[in-house]
Amino acid sequence: MSALVHRTISIRPGLELAVRESGQGRVVLVLHGAPGPVSTVPLVEHLAAGHRVLAPTHPGWEDTVRPATLDSVAALAAVYHDLLDQQCLDDVTVVGTSFGGWVAARMAVDDRARRISRLVLMDALGPEIPGQPVTMPSGPPLGAPAGPGAPTTRGGPPAQMLATLRAYTGPDLHDAALLPSLSTVACPVLAVWGTNDTAVTPDFGRAYAAAFPHGRFELVHGAGHLPIREKPEAVFRLLDTFLATPGVHS
Per 3-state DSSP, the chain is made up of helix, strand and coil in percentages (nearest 5) of: 30, 20, 45
> What does the pLDDT profile of the chain (250 residues) look like in tens digits?
678 999 999 999 999 999 999 999 999 999 999 999 999 999 999 999 999 999 999 999 999 999 999 999 999 999 999 999 999 999 999 999 999 999 999 999 999 999 999 999 999 999 999 999 998 764 334 443 333 343 334 455 677 888 899 999 999 899 999 999 999 999 999 999 999 999 999 999 999 999 999 999 999 999 999 999 999 999 999 999 999 988 886 5
Q: Which residues of 110-124 are buried (b: 16+ CB within 10 A; e: fewer)?
A: bbeeebbbbbbbbbb
Query: Distance from first CA to last CA of the chain, Å, rounded?
Result: 26
Domains and CATH numbers, the chain: 5-137+156-244 (3.40.50.1820)
Phi, psi of 116 (to 5 degrees): -95, 125
Cα distance between residue 199 and residue 123, in whole Å: 9
Other CB atoms within 10 Å distance of the CB of residue 14: 10
Identity of the amino acid at 116: I
Confirm if 99 and 34 have CB atoms less than 8 A apart. Answer: yes
Are the C-beta atoms of 242 and 187 separated by less than 8 Å? no
Task: Report the C-alpha gap between 118 and 181 in whole angstroms.
Answer: 17
pTM of the model: 0.92
